[in-house]
Amino acid sequence: MNEVVTREATCACGDLRATLAGEPLMVSSCCCTRCQRRTGAFFGVTVYYRPRQMTAQSGTAATFHPPDGSTTFHFCPRCGSSVWWVPEEEDDVIGVAGGCFADTSLPAPQRMVWTEHRHPYVRPPPGVPTFTGAPD
Ligand SMILES: [Zn+2]
Ligand SMILES: [Zn+2]
């Protein structure tokens, strides 16, 4: 048996933490304007897992539900980092903020979505599929 990799996603102040066991289902980057505003960066990175892979949490998350969105964001009420989110339309999947791992062993994004809003100098990794809007 191989040892199961675990990674910890942490907000900027360290109060809110989540431990994820095993490799993610997928890593996706998104250039949509919501991700830009939520992160303060030019694109967001979502690391998808099964909810059961989140094996531990510490701290208390506040939640944010965008008025026109279908995802509930869990963020640190002290520092504001969104650490994970739950899409309402997909069962059995959670998204975790790629940057909150601060871990270069994380697999590279396997796609880039909403490139309609991509800043021209932001480039997807070579060979990675891109979608102008939501992925197929
Ligand atoms: Zn925090
Ligand atoms: Zn987005």
Centre of ligand 2 to C-alpha 22, Å, is 24
- What is the C-alpha to C-alpha distance for residues 34 and 43, in angstroms, rounded to an integer? 9
Q: Which ligand is nearest to the CA of 77?
A: 1
Give domain limits for the chain.
6-117
C-alpha 2 to ligand 1 mean position (Å): 33
CA of 54 to the centre of ligand 1 (A): 18
Q: Does domain 6-117 have CATH number 2.170.150.70?
A: yes
Instruction: Supply the pTM of this predicted model.
Output: 0.93
pLDDT at 129: 96
pLDDT in tens, 9-59: 999 999 999 999 999 999 999 999 999 999 999 999 999 999 999 999 999
CA distance 87 to 94: 7
Answer with the residue of higher pLDDT: 32 or 89.
32
Mean of pLDDT values over 92-114: 96
The rounded mean pLDDT for the chain is 94
Ligand lying nearest the CA atom of residue 116: 2
Environment class of 91 (CB within 10 Å of its CB; exposed 0-12, middle 13-18, buried 19+) = exposed
pLDDT at 7: 98
Ligand nearest to C-alpha 10: 1
DSSP-based three-state secondary structure for 83: strand
**Residue labelled with tokens 């030019």:** 42
